[in-house]
Amino acid sequence: MRRNRKVKILATLGPASSEEAMIRKLFEAGADVFRINMSHTDHALLKALVGRIRAVEAAVGRPIGILADLQGPKLRVGKFKNTKEELQLGQLFTLDDNTEPGDNTRVHLPHPEILESVEPGHRLLIDDGKLELRAVETNGRQIICEVVAGRTISDRKGVSLPDTDLPVGALTEKDRKDLDAALENDVDWIALSFVQRPEDLAEARKIARGRALIMSKIEKPQAVQRLPEIMDLSDAIMVARGDLGVEMPLESVPGVQKQITRAARRAGKPVVVATQMLESMITAPVPTRAEVSDVATAVFEGADAIMLSAESAAGQYPTEAVATMDRIARKVEADPTYDGIIHAQRTDPQATSADAVSAAARQMADTLKLAAIVTYTASGNTGLRAARERPRVPIIALSPVLGTARRLSLLWGTHCVVTEDAADLDDMVNRACRITQEEKFGNAGERVIIMAGVPLRTPGTTNMLRIAYLGSANGVGPR
């Protein structure tokens, strides 16, 4: 089964989509990678979901990627005597270390790191920004705030700190246990929540030890400010617009989305655009026109993947949401302006042989109107370099490593096939041509360009291009 689009679709599993039959329907509707949200998933369910996805993978004969999304630190206020309180604009309200239930003048904040880090002038956003407080006075045990916007505060509402750099890592104790469980179940990607600084990735990378790739979720202004450093240490990036839209002005989010997407493309790192893409389809069978435009914008930007959250996890129309996203993506990629926009965003290759070879392969494939670019890749790096170029033709990534093929299923324009490693150069060409025809990417007489490293089976040596004709009976012709 091949997709007739280059952007990938990442679908979140949940109560509406946790059974194997529904997971298969979502795959057939267009989902390429499945997300498991560890905020709502225990380890038994995680194991069950991974097993069901792998059963679907075996049934359809296509590698399917799995992303485990860690919850990250959840900062919340304590409880109130009356469950909730109404505040007045301009009044003072205190967050402190007193464990007594709160009232309309104060509430417990069970996070000493916040009490010690917030400084006068810093904003504290409660309940996704519905209530805005501004710190007036702090002493390490309490934060005296002025109510700037909103009025209602209630039990256990979340706290966002757009101006404060907290001295805590991105991994909580729950996250460490969830990460271990995800690795035990051979997930392909780990999404790290609330990254603030490059150091936040160190512990996750140390625990993972290459068994899964790390995706940094950019959802805090502090992460945007240090994006290049975070990008360097990440295997992929997610533009997590939900919390990003809480912690910075809403009108800033579209521009930041474009900046992150383009920076990831320049770095050759996969980038996912997420949150509220087809939000209305949680309860409606069709999206709004604005949502369609939002999805289209991410596709025009050349994002590697676009993500569904509650739409596929808990909505009433999970299959329809995936199918709708698939239709939007295919229509955008067929638009006459699409190639020009993608081409205009292309950057010069990096000064490595792999990047130079990838750029040459893209130019030759586009100029000669070849059927496909075929890459041999054990580690996945050759596939990443080829996708960075955003060629007009499909990329067929051949790998002897199933885990690599699963990871690359997130990658723009890449069709992954698990195959035995080539015995020699002739076998490599024959295998590439045969698989191109078997996967219905080309017909006899058409040509493909093959990227590989010589000597074979030597990681990091992408240094060869070869054009081959697709033959008839055995898939091989003159070359």
Where along the chain do its domains lie?
A: 8-72+170-335, 84-160, 348-469
Please tell me which residue in 106, 217, 226, 265 is annotated as part of the active site. 217
Which H/E stretch holds residue 223?
helix 221-225
Q: Read out DSSP for 148-208?
A: EE--EEETT-BEE-TT---SS-S--HHHHHHHHHHHHTT-SEEEEPS--SGGGGHHHHHHH
Single out the catalytic residue among 47, 54, 74, 76.
76
Q: pLDDT by residue (tens digit) across 254-266?
A: 999 999 999 999 9
Structure tokens at 327: 């239709």
- Mean pLDDT, the chain, rounded, equals 94
CATH entry, 8-72+170-335, from 3.30.413.10, 3.40.50.360, 3.20.20.60, 3.30.1300.10: 3.20.20.60
Q: Is residue 291 pLDDT above 60, yes or no?
A: yes
Does the predicted model carry a pTM greater than 0.85? yes
Q: What is the mean pLDDT of residues 120-141?
A: 96
Q: Taking residues 375-392, what's their average pLDDT?
A: 93
pLDDT at 453: 80
Our answer to whether residue 275 is catalytic in this structure is yes
CATH 3.40.640.10 is held by the domain 84-160: no
Under the banding of pLDDT at 50, 70 and 90, the label for residue 452 is confident
Which tens digits make up the pLDDT trace of 218-234? 999 999 999 999 999 99
For the question of residue 35 being annotated catalytic, the response is yes
Outline where 281-344 has alpha helix (H): 289-300, 310-313, 318-333, 338-344
Residue pair 240/219 in contact by the 8 Å Cβ criterion: yes
Residue 474 pLDDT greater than 50, yes or no: no
Say which of 5, 6, 35, 269 is annotated catalytic. Answer: 35
Q: Within a 13 Å sphere around the CA of 165, how many CA atoms are in the beta-carbon half? A: 10
Q: Which of 41, 275, 319, 462 is catalytic?
A: 275
pLDDT tens digits, one per residue of 412-426: 999 999 999 888 889
Token pair for residue 340? 């020009």
Retrieve residue 100's tokens: 């007594």
Determine the CATH number of domain 348-469. 3.40.1380.20
Is 176 annotated as catalytic? no
pLDDT number for residue 472 = 58
Position 345 scores a pLDDT of 86
